Structure 1
């Protein structure tokens, strides 16, 4: 099995995530056409439960598996890799049986009391088969991440969404004559089918990656009983990772109540609260988090990369990989922040037809530059075996955000700007806590010249983008086309400057999978 470098693996996953986002958009369009608003409503009553079922079943094991497999592979310990897979399969298998049994037994009562519409029972039942499927796929995804082979993960994402779109169209059209509740259940079951086909591909890729068959010992339980050390090593990373997910989910559930109550105490009417909160959560936050899928891909590849270097006790390699990841994060964060800040009025007008939301975006965008460092730093902590530290940092930051919302929004009378300031404090605090934690563990080393070059390229890009917008405003082009052209030219200016400063080298561009040889032609050779 051929390993991929940190940046190559991250690029492959980023490309797959981008394609997947497009397919998700296509799927939502297909559902709107064949299912209608009522059917989508029934489906969406149960779809949020998928995250809960996945969390209860996998308990953060995929991340733990990737870390331990990377360490075992770096040490050449194939037997330990096998034991990791056996123990994790036993854990998720047991949890799957328990979760499925509980869901089937409590399905009627749950849909009646918690889903508000008894018809959603069919959708809930259609979702249950996903539990064992996700359990097995989670183990295989963790394995491939640990072996630092991201192609199977990338292709499985695309396969899953493609099957989901086709199945949604076919099942809904077939079931719609029986009633909207059955059609909604068909749409939910299409998700299960997508996951099942994706799992089939992962199993095939796993078998093909081994020249010899992956034999499981006959005495499975004896093997598991001797794997207590592996069991506790897995839980050491898995439980804090699950805790992070639960903290995130809990804060997301509590945050809207605190924000709306605080804005009400600030003297705002219910109509103004709804408008301000809607602009923040519906318009501003999606734009802020949109480039995040690149960072998520980087975080997935960084955990096993750091674990491998740690297993070899190669501190220098750990420092180099962390700095690489932070440079990539900064290279994405600087242009994204600059574009969101400078083009806020145009973006809000073109995308949402809400220019009044532009000041909110301009206010919060600079603070969120630090958000781009969170994923690489958290992944570094997990790779170094400090998942618990990452969880506590996350807990402190989320708690601080909730604590500061009321005084800033209501007591100081800042309203929605106080809410954004509280969110920004949480982002800054979590980033700093991660920085201090990594520094305390192994130290942090930066090439400050590279950082200055990236920041300077972002500033030049910003000024260049505004000049382009000023010029295009004198033409007869529509605002949407003007904005798109200005952003494209701004990004191209930014990339050219990075190549000129040798932050990005032509050789690096040429190594990009699939399109590197074409892209390299766009950048001049320095003499």
Structure 2
């Protein structure tokens, strides 16, 4: 152990009228720092963790598309409808099982690590494991004993019952995995989560190739159940990987070797802190899961009221939820990664009384969201029909996607804003905003989808209106709590680059109907290259901020430096 300098901050407050100006004055003093503190200084940054999850999320999302495309071509839109019908039930049960604890673990472990409080981390994990274990046993037994009621009164298509039975083991597997993910996120170590997701998708794809392709020769419902079995096997392998990773690199004695063995916080205070986070999130997810569980029932009834048969309505819902929605949410892999990192990062900043860091994180997330969402909206709106035709061999999915794609920015922005509110201990605000959007969605589905002239397009409109309203409400409250000012200049530059991309793709595809696959790919790839060049020319991307990207930053900075007008 050696003596080193370290910087600490003393806050000096001046009061002038009604304004309170807080600024930090650095004071240098000698102290002995522990090995834990040295690791904390050198641990991966917020950007590094976000980048890891972005890359893994992109890989797994692409793998997920391969999985869905292959599954769709095996079991068709109707089989996808059977596969998707049971997911609202799974979401509802998982909400009750985990009780919002993964988010609470992530936030509180980050705070305890910042305070070098080993005892508090142990207490947080012990309580979480106990609660999840009890709830898992109760609800798994309940799901099996109530299978008859589920089959006859809940499932909108009785052929989905084998898929429901196959889904039951997922509850315990995902519940255990969620605790480990919350723990690693609290450590701000995203690598185990990233590699676990890739392993999970790999096993799932291989299982689909083997199981669904075999059982389709017997019946459509057994093929859908086989697809669910592939998901069970994938989640199980991902869980085993997280368990092994925790034993190898996440042991608490290694993370906090000199941590305090007696917490400065009582058990009651820890439980109260967990409840403040977990209960609003649980209530939000519970209400949203109920709304989500009601969605297929309401959609099916609305489509039947519009004159569609049960088989056609199931196929239409499969096109919407199993084909159009995965394409729509593909860009959210980037902003979802930001949101995952924002919760512990914002929590740590608030615990250290460094609120200015929250505004920095918000500003970074806002610009990054625009850079991803604007061009994605252009591509998915322009090529909704050709993309769905070449991917799914279905021409009727394009209009469903085209209705929602223009609102991509608000969809992508919703997750980072929710993460910041949760990090600020305002999970209840995010809960109310999410519920408002969910209730609005169901009301609009009832009003729009039951009209014969709209049908499934009414569901798409209801979805777009739902996440638009929720995002705008989240944005208003974040600005209110953080005092964030939207950087219109940066957004305008990103919008100009997106417009240039749009005009290029219009020229490339002019008077080409139907659009050949080669022309579409040339337009998309060329458009993104032009978009990247325009971002550099407009100084949205500079060598200075690109160089800060971990690992690949220096290489990308050299590439940006060669772009015209780049700095």
Counterpart in the other structure of 2:530: 493
Larger CA deviation: 420-429 vs 313-322? 420-429
**Superposition deviation, residue 82 in structure 1:** 2.0
Q: Distance in 2 between matches of 1:178 and 1:419?
A: 33
Q: Distance in 1 between matches of 2:471 and 2:105?
A: 25
Deviations 1:379-426 (A, max 9, x none): 111111111111111111222333345566789x98777665544433
Q: What is the aligned counterpart of 1:504 among 541, 558, 563?
A: 541
1:484 equivalent to 2:521? Answer yes
1:205 equivalent to 2:242? Answer no
Counterpart in the other structure of 1:66: 106
**Superposition deviation, residue 340 in structure 1:** 2.5
Q: What pairs up with 1:141-180 in 2 under 5 angstroms?
A: 141-166=181-206
Q: What pairs up with 1:280-299 in 2 under 5 angstroms?
A: 284-299=324-339
1:320 equivalent to 2:357? Answer no
Counterpart in the other structure of 2:9: none
Q: Distance in 2 between matches of 1:406 and 1:416?
A: 11
Say whether the 8 Å CA contact 2:339–2:419 is kept in structure 1.
Answer: yes
Q: What is the aligned counterpart of 1:523 among 560, 563, 566?
A: 560
Say whether the 8 Å CA contact 1:96–1:132 is kept in structure 2.
Answer: yes
Deviations 1:495-525 (A, max 9, x none): 1221222322235445545655655554334
**Superposition deviation, residue 276 in structure 1:** 8.2
- Report the 3-state secondary structure (helix = DSSP H, G, I; strand = E; otherwise coil) of the residue aligned with 2:561: coil
**Superposition deviation, residue 480 in structure 1:** 1.0
Larger CA deviation: 317-326 vs 497-506? 497-506
**Structure 1 residues 519 and 79, CA gap change in structure 2 (3 angstroms):** same
Q: Distance in 2 between matches of 1:117 and 1:360?
A: 25
Q: What is the aligned counterpart of 1:232 among 247, 253, 272?
A: 272
Q: What pairs up with 1:310-349 in 2 under 5 angstroms?
A: 310-347=350-387, 349=389
Q: How many residues align?
A: 513
Counterpart in the other structure of 1:219: none
Q: Distance in 2 between matches of 1:35 and 1:297?
A: 31
- Report the 3-state secondary structure (helix = DSSP H, G, I; strand = E; otherwise coil) of the residue aligned with 1:445: coil
* RMSD over aligned Cα atoms: 4.5
Q: What is the aligned counterpart of 2:466 among 426, 443, 461?
A: 426
Higher strand share: 2
Deviations 1:473-512 (A, max 9, x none): 59xx971111111111111111122122232223544554
Q: Distance in 2 between matches of 1:269 and 1:105?
A: 36
Unaligned runs of 5+ in 1: 216-221
Q: Distance in 2 between matches of 1:483 and 1:40?
A: 27
Unaligned runs of 5+ in 2: 1-38, 257-261
Deviations 1:157-176 (A, max 9, x none): 11222334456667889999
**Structure 1 residues 175 and 353, CA gap change in structure 2 (3 angstroms):** closer
**Superposition deviation, residue 32 in structure 1:** 8.2
Higher helix share: 1
**Superposition deviation, residue 281 in structure 1:** 5.5
**Structure 1 residues 415 and 106, CA gap change in structure 2 (3 angstroms):** closer
1:453 equivalent to 2:493? Answer yes
Larger CA deviation: 168-177 vs 316-325? 168-177
- Report the 3-state secondary structure (helix = DSSP H, G, I; strand = E; otherwise coil) of the residue aligned with 1:366: helix
Counterpart in the other structure of 2:54: 14
Q: What is the aligned counterpart of 2:507 among 458, 467, 475?
A: 467
**Superposition deviation, residue 139 in structure 1:** 1.5
- Report the 3-state secondary structure (helix = DSSP H, G, I; strand = E; otherwise coil) of the residue aligned with 1:194: helix
Counterpart in the other structure of 1:390: 430
Q: Distance in 2 between matches of 1:190 and 1:362?
A: 31
**Structure 1 residues 238 and 372, CA gap change in structure 2 (3 angstroms):** same
**Superposition deviation, residue 286 in structure 1:** 4.1
Q: Distance in 2 between matches of 1:19 and 1:398?
A: 30
Deviations 1:52-77 (A, max 9, x none): 44322212211111111122222332
